[in-house]
Amino acid sequence: MTLYCEALDPIGHGVRLVLAEKDVSVEVNYITYADQPEDLHDLNPYGTLLTLVDRDLALYDAQIMMEYLDERFPHPPLMPVDPVARANNRQFRYRVVRDLYQWADSLVGENEIAAGSARKVVRDTLTAIAPSFQHCQFFMSNEYSLVDCTLAPLLWRLPAYGIKLPPQAKPVVRYAEAIYERSAFKGSLSEMERELRAL
């Protein structure tokens, strides 16, 4: 199994986190658009870098990769068994990507006005959902799941994005710090991602 991804891509980090939680033996190739292998164009018709290859299967959507890995390597399970709970899990991940990840490019872009607006939206969104972290050990659940694998990489990057959460968001900070202590999270970090918190 081979994973192609950028070393600082938060969505790719989520896939690496699932791989680490499952303790899957995988070759991770950190690449950029400048040095991507030629055959990646044949594997990924959309020209994006994040690609998971498992024998004859090539996947290029992070959420599909995560669910595939959870089904292919069922222990520990990262999706609930109940159909309603599974649907909710997918919905929460959709909302995390739609409400938070859509701002990632602006946060690291050169347009300071766009970056400032993105910082405010992400900060306000996380502050608004902070109360939900007081009722469950993980995000909207007492079981660690793919939702946490999706959200945690973005939270790890908040200092690098220039986002400081207000006191009202303390439950989010406590949740994030607990996730960072997991051995799988530590093992999922690229060297460049480790340096984000070493600055």
Task: Using DSSP bridges, classify how beta strands 51-54 and 27-30 pair: parallel, antiparallel or unpaired.
Answer: unpaired
Which domains are present in the chain? Answer: 2-72 (3.40.30.10), 83-196 (1.20.1050.10)
Percent residues over pLDDT 70 in the chain: 99
H or E segment to which residue 53 belongs: strand 51-54
The pTM is what?
Answer: 0.92
Look over the chain and give the mean of its residue pLDDT values, rounded to a whole number.
93
Residue 189: per-residue pLDDT? 95
Inform me whether the pLDDT recorded for 95 exceeds 90: yes
DSSP code per residue over 126-141 = HHHHGGGGGTSSBTTB
pLDDT band at 141 (very low <50, low <70, confident <90, very high): confident
Closest residue by Cα to residue 12 from 179, 154, 175: 154
pLDDT band at 15 (very low <50, low <70, confident <90, very high): very high
Average the pLDDT over 92-114 and give the result: 92
Task: Using DSSP bridges, classify how beta strands 57-59 and 51-54 pair: parallel, antiparallel or unpaired.
Answer: antiparallel
The C-alpha atoms of residue 112 and residue 79 are separated, in whole angstroms, by 38
Instruction: Find tokens 């950029």 and name the residue.
Output: 32
Residue 79: per-residue pLDDT? 96
Task: Using DSSP bridges, classify how beta strands 2-5 and 51-54 pair: parallel, antiparallel or unpaired.
Answer: antiparallel
